[in-house]
Chains A and B, each alone.
Chain A
Amino acid sequence: MMSNALIWRWGSEQVKTFLQILSYGLMSGALYGLIALGLSLVFGVMSYLNVAHGALIILGAYLSFWLYQLWGIDPFPSILLVFPLFFALGLLLFKGLFAALMKFSEGDKIKNSLLISFGILLILPNTIILSWTPDERAVTTFYSGAVVDLLGWRLPYTGLATVALAVAVIAALHVFLTRTYFGKSIRAVSQDFEAAGYMGINVPRTYMVSFALGVALASIPGAIVALQGINPDLAFALPNKELIVVILAGVGSINGLLGAGLLLGLVEAMGVFFLGAAYREAVGLLLFVLFLVYRPQGLVGRKT
């Protein structure tokens, strides 16, 4: 804090703005990590590319919004309600739509899951529009817009909570996957599902639970998005960020997601600072292309 204070006093207005934009970048980055989490888990375990994950996040955001509107439940604790609900939704989606893909080769799993989830991506936002109109909504709580002010360095509570939540959720998932028997079996299935079956692991059940967990994880960024403002169109904007973060982290890497999200957030922030807000998406995509060319395995991805 001391060094920051020094910069504040002696630094130019530019340095101040730079740091401000940088910290906003990191806060968006934490959210990027969270939105990619479920998608990455599902893709890593069973090679299903669920492009409807973003639409599910938006649906989660709407549920959060209505829970707040109707019963005054704050978005953060509302995760505790939406998470199990989404887990059940994930089980239903898997049983009804995705289970049949299990027998396919990896390439066919990707293609067919893409088709099915694209269908969901088309249906969900329209259902949201029909149910709740296309109006922009946002949860406005007592802490919305409130900031911690450190000598002019302004950090919004929501952003700080996002960073804390991202760290906690990714750490919890890491512990689940490395410390529990079931979590380890998920990793075993993702590395070699056939061999996992020969070890006595129920592969279809592992697929089903992992898929449902992936959907349930959409509830967490959903709550944060509800605080920032939502409309049905966001369902189409999110897959972009999700896929970039998944590639940056390395396909199937959960541990790399936070770093990848933060990196994307930071680079976007730099783009805003040096080039202007219009270039925010462009620099993100540029980073994506650079990774594809020079480091396709991602930050901590598997070597192939």
Chain B
Amino acid sequence: MLELQGINVSYGDLQALWDMAITVAEGEIVALIGSNGAGKSTLLKTIAGGLKPKAGTVTFDGVRLDMLSSHEIVRAGVALVPEGRRLFPEMTVLENLEMGAFVERARKLKKESLGRMFELFPILENRLKQSAGTLSGGEQQMLAIARALMSRPRLIMLDEMSLGLAPIAVKSIYDTLIRIRRATKITILVVEQNVRYALKVADRGYIIENGRVVGHGSATVLTNSDDVKRAYLAVG
């Protein structure tokens, strides 16, 4: 479904990604794991059109995403929950959700989508008129996910969801993610520093270090790999 080949990305003279190749099959949950600054978020931004690769291709169902701008990529069915949530802080919860459904295809389904979001995140329904900036961290993360889902994506990418959240909030968000996947068969690509959680929900994972893919495999294989245990799970 999603295929990246030979992706090179630079910030000015500083190259952040080197010859990256990643595939995600329909219905999969794939986790990108690696330490801070390894290039995971850069990769998601590149897929979402926020950064343009210097070389390489990003293909989504035969469409070259690297040739499109961000808003066209959303139209193609890919949504990003950016790192740090990036809500519109002075807009209400409802307005944030509406912005998620901006593309025409999603706008027609807005009512139905809203109903689904209230099922997944009941707390949001009680906060509709509140401005997004006044929500708690966990609520903001839920809103950020719901906002991305409002565009009716076939692939959703989640960047560092657990950052700055209490463990209980992280668990509840991951539980919801699993429920979403069961209900919708949506394809999910997560970037996560909390490797334990990421590998618990994911089918497969890629290990990224210094802008390169240094390993990949099924979540079970990665969880039991000594390298991963030592580097990311702090055991052994």
Which A residues form the contact surface with B (CB < 8 A)? 181, 184-185, 187-188, 191-192, 194-204, 302
User: A10–B107 Cα gap in the complex (Å)?
Assistant: 63
- Pick the residue among B75, B82, B91, B103 that contacts A188 (CB under 8 A): B91
75-111 of chain B: CB within 8 A of chain A: 75, 79-80, 82, 86-91, 95, 98-100, 102-103, 106-107
Interface residue total, chain B, C-beta cutoff 8 A: 28
Q: How far is the CA of A89 from the CA of B89 in the complex (A)?
A: 33
Whether the pair A187, B86 counts as a contact (CB closer than 8 A) is no
List the A side residues contacting B82 at CB < 8 Å.
194-195, 198
* Complex interface: chain A residues within 8 A of B148 (CB): 198
Q: C-beta contact mask, B56-77 vs A, less than 8 Å → 1, else 0?
A: 0000000000000111001100
Tell me which residues across on chain A come within 8 A of B103, comparing CB atoms. 200
Kindly list chain A residues whose C-beta atoms are within 8 Å of the C-beta of B99: 184-185, 188, 196, 199, 201
Q: A197 to B49, Cβ gap below 8 A?
A: yes
Query: Complex Cα distance A187/B79, Å?
Result: 20
State the Cβ distance, A303 to closest chain B Cβ, in Å.
10
Which residue in A181, A187, A197 is a CB contact (below 8 Å) of B88? A187
Residues from chain A with a CB closer than 8 A to the CB of B69 are: 197, 202, 204
CB pair A181–B90 under 8 Å, yes or no, is no
Is the beta-carbon distance between B102 and A195 smaller than 8 angstroms?
Answer: no
Query: Contacts A198-B48, A201-B99 given: A302-B71 contact, CB under 8 Å?
Result: no
Residues A198 and B89 in contact, CB atoms below 8 Å apart: no
B50 at the interface (CB under 8 A from A): yes
The answer to whether B106 touches A200, judged by C-beta atoms less than 8 angstroms apart, is yes
Q: Check if B70 sits within 8 Å of A198, measured CB to CB.
A: yes
The 6 closest A-B pairs by CB, nearest first: A200-B74, A197-B70, A195-B86, A200-B103, A200-B102, A191-B88
Residues from chain B with Cβ under 8 Å of A201 in the complex: 71, 99, 102
Measured CB to CB, the closest approach of chain A to B39, in angstroms, equals 18
- Using an 8 Å CB-CB cutoff, how does the interface string of B30-59 with A read, 1 for contact, 0 for none? 000000000000000000111000000000
CA distance A188 to B102 in the complex (A): 11
Closest chain B CB from A256 CB (angstroms): 13
Tell yes or no: B212 within 8 A of A by CB.
Answer: no
* B204 within 8 A of partner (CB): no
Chain B residue numbers with a CB within 8 Å of A198 are 48, 50, 70, 74, 79-80, 82, 86, 148
Does B100 contact A199, Cβ atoms closer than 8 Å? yes
Can you sample 25 A-B contacts with CB below 8 Å?
A181-B98, A184-B95, A184-B98, A185-B102, A187-B90, A187-B91, A188-B91, A188-B95, A188-B99, A191-B89, A191-B91, A194-B82, A196-B88, A196-B99, A197-B49, A197-B70, A197-B71, A198-B48, A198-B80, A198-B148, A199-B71, A199-B102, A199-B151, A200-B151, A203-B70
